[in-house]
Amino acid sequence: MKNLIAPHASETLKPLFINDSSERDAILEQSTSLSQLLLNSAAAANTVMLGAGYFTPLNGFMNKKDAISVANNMVTTDGLFWPVPIINLTTDIGSIKESDEIALLDPNVDGTPVMATQVIESIEVLTDSEMLNLAEKIFGTTDNKHPGVSNFLNLGNILVSGPIKVLNYSYFPKDFPGTFATAPEIREMLNKAGWSTTVAFQTRNPMHRAHEELCKMALERLKADGVLIHMTLGKLKDGDIPGDVRNEAIEKMVELYFPENTVIISGFGFDMLYAGPREALLHAVFRQNCGCSHLIVGRDHAGVGDYYGPFEAQEMFNQDIVKNSLKIKIFSADHTAYSKKLKEVVMMRDVDDHSKDDFVLLSGTKVREMLSNGEELPPEFARKEVAEILMKYYQSL
């Protein structure tokens, strides 16, 4: 068996999900007598990621010192490289006190069932200026129009830290059967496929021709065994395409246009942060935990609006702290588009004799408009079979 890349800062994965069903049932039963805390969606997503081993080697939610250290310097107080604070913020702690064990309730499932338990190591308040500093460091801005910032600043300022035991993966296994997978499950898939060089492609959108070709370029140039198309299944911003539609479109594209046994499609239960460079680093950490050797980092990776430079995310990986901490490498990509001159999809930086008019470029707004009106997308931009799935969705709105 070929060896997979080791998890981040650990010999083995550390999923916090309680695998033993009788132990899980016992904890669930015991949780009925515990104080309860209703999580917000961001903390619930962190819980799923901790449970699924994606956030190895963390054992729960960070305290204030660690959160500030991670925001300012990308390391915890004990020196672990981590790019984004993994925290449980709330607006109201009720009667919960330090050293309590509490039940964490899922805000995203009807009836708010218990999704985890947490031993409270500390309850700390973040001042307004500390919250703004965290936002500035994570998102590079404190502008409330940034969807990540406005969400973050509304989570509350009471920080509840301590280790957790995860009892379920929220709505993800039910809503995305066959797509949602944990980090150990993905490692198992890669082992079974016999892949040691795997390129991860992060997406929150359906994949057009440019994305398809980008994955194929990475496969070829890195002489990789395969591509993990790994999609965000959690909360997105308004206007983003829902996970089930995206999933169907990607599956159709892979089935028809990729060589057999070169792609694994999967998804993870996390809400998009839109944190650009910092989120790109987090994407790299948890793809390393999945066993991927490379991550495609494109133009404005995980960005939104004009908040980040086009290659700012790629530049983050040149920092010594990143190079010394992560084993996973990146495949740096430019914008890809169909060249009318060459009659193929190219990376824009590879063709310096082209002007903008030599490419088939459509904005997201234009694509949505065309699909909503039942207009076919140019075949150079999108595969017909993929466009049909998206058109059906837009016309149903």
Catalytic residue among 24, 204, 278, 287: 204
User: Letter for the amino acid at 391?
Assistant: M
Looking at residue 121, its amino acid is: E
DSSP string, 239-308: TSPPHHHHHHHHHHHHHHHS-TTSEEEEEE-------HHHHHHHHHHHHHHHT-SEEEE-TTTT--TTSS
Number of other residues whose CB lies within 10 A of the CB of residue 2:
11
| Residues in the chain, overall count | 397
Catalytic residue, chosen from 133, 157, 191, 205, is: 205
- Hey, how many other C-beta atoms are within 10 angstroms of the C-beta on 109? 14
Nearest to 282 by CA among 129, 274, 40: 274
Q: Could you confirm whether 187 is annotated as catalytic?
A: no
Element (H, E) at 238: none
Q: Are strands 263-268 and 226-232 parallel, antiparallel or unpaired?
A: parallel
Cβ(317)–Cβ(288) below 8 Å: no
Residues 80 and 57: beta-carbon distance below 8 Å: yes
End-to-end CA distance of the chain: 48
Is 154 marked active-site?
Answer: no
Compute CA distances 234 → 97, 240, 385, whole Å. 30, 11, 25
SS3 3: coil
Catalytic positions: 204-205
